[in-house]
């Protein structure tokens, strides 16, 4: 899984590419107009809008870097990155934007990731998924990684439930052509497993127990005597590992 620094640098590169596309456009000797429309001018506006969009994504990536603030040496650098991006205004000359991007790359290169954090989350890897759900699963696992680093164990378990829902719904759709998220929204994890078993899909026997633990966190009981389930770090890690294994078996 890419580190926050790698993701940020990739977005800097995307912004640089959008500027190149804008600057490399060639105006024709004779403007092509039809019905009052200037196609060259419209293309220029489109390419300029791409620059603004890429800078917007870059700002989002900068906020994701904040988890690196656990290392005190990174905090001043992170403040500089956020400050530079927040002071950037729309429609700035591309020369100024390129200068900004160059400065951001240098700052990003000076950030460090604690080896203990890298090792702590190395087990959360994105398995091979069907293309249609791959991005959604990857986004949820990226969020899961942040929650695990922060010690938000209940949030980790909730995200495991979300990942399983996405995967189980997709598996059922591949088998039947029926999208339960449209025809039967709100179908619980247990019922999804039951429906897959009806289609003779082999499901790990331990999945039902995992779903029970996940539901203890996700579903708030109205009975005051029932205590909420607060998983430990080890329990959260075990549920994450089982979830990842279940994904591999579903689409392996």
Give whole-number Cα distances, 103 to 9, 19, 88, 89, 96, in Å: 12, 16, 13, 16, 11
If asked whether residues 136 and 32 sit together in one domain, one would say no
Among 81, 116, 151, the domain-final residue is 116
If asked whether residues 126 and 236 sit together in one domain, one would say yes
Give residue 156's pLDDT. Answer: 92
- Say how far residue 50 (Cα) sits from the centre of its chain: 21
Give residue 110's pLDDT. Answer: 93
Express the helix, strand and coil content of the chain in percent, nearest 5 each.
Answer: 70, 0, 30
Number of structural domains (the chain) is: 2
Among 54, 87, 116, the domain-final residue is 116
Give whole-number Cα distances, 218 to 21, 79, 134, 152, in Å: 46, 35, 23, 14
Domain that holds residue 152: 121-251
Give residue 166's pLDDT. Answer: 93
If asked whether residues 74 and 154 sit together in one domain, one would say no
Give residue 77's pLDDT. Answer: 93
Rg of the chain taking only CA atoms, in angstroms: 23
d(CA 63, CA 110): 17
Global pTM value: 0.54
If asked whether residues 162 and 242 sit together in one domain, one would say yes
Among 92, 116, 140, the domain-final residue is 116
Give residue 219's pLDDT. Answer: 66
Q: Within the chain, which residues score under 70 in pLDDT?
A: 1-2, 26-41, 114-120, 219-228
If asked whether residues 108 and 130 sit together in one domain, one would say no
């Amino acid at each position: 899984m890419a580190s926050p620094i790698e993701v940020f640098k990739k977005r800097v590169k995307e912004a640089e590419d959008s500027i190149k596309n804008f600057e490399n456009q060639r105006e024709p000797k004779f403007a092509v107009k039809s019905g009052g429309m200037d196609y060259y001018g419209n293309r220029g506006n489109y390419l300029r809008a791409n620059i603004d969009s890429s800078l917007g994504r870059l700002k989002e990536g900068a906020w994701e870097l904040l988890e690196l603030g656990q290392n005190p040496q990174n905090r001043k650098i992170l403040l500089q990155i956020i400050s530079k991006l927040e002071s950037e205004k729309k429609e700035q000359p591309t020369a100024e934007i390129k200068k900004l991007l160059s400065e951001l790359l240098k700052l990003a290169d000076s950030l460090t990731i604690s080896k203990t954090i890298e090792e702590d989350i190395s087990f959360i890897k994105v398995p091979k998924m069907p293309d249609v759900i791959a991005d959604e699963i990857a986004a949820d696992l990226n969020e899961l990684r942040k929650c695990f680093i922060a010690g938000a164990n209940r949030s980790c378990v909730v995200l495991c439930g979300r990942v399983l829902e996405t995967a189980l719904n997709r598996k059922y759709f591949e088998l039947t052509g029926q999208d339960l998220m449209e025809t039967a929204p709100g179908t619980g994890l247990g019922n999804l497993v039951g429906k897959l078993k009806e289609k003779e899909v082999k499901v790990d026997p331990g999945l039902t127990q995992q779903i029970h633990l996940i539901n203890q966190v996700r579903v708030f009981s109205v009975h005051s005597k029932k205590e909420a389930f607060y998983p430990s770090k080890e329990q959260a890690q075990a549920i994450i590992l089982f979830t990842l294994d279940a994904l591999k078996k579903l689409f392996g």
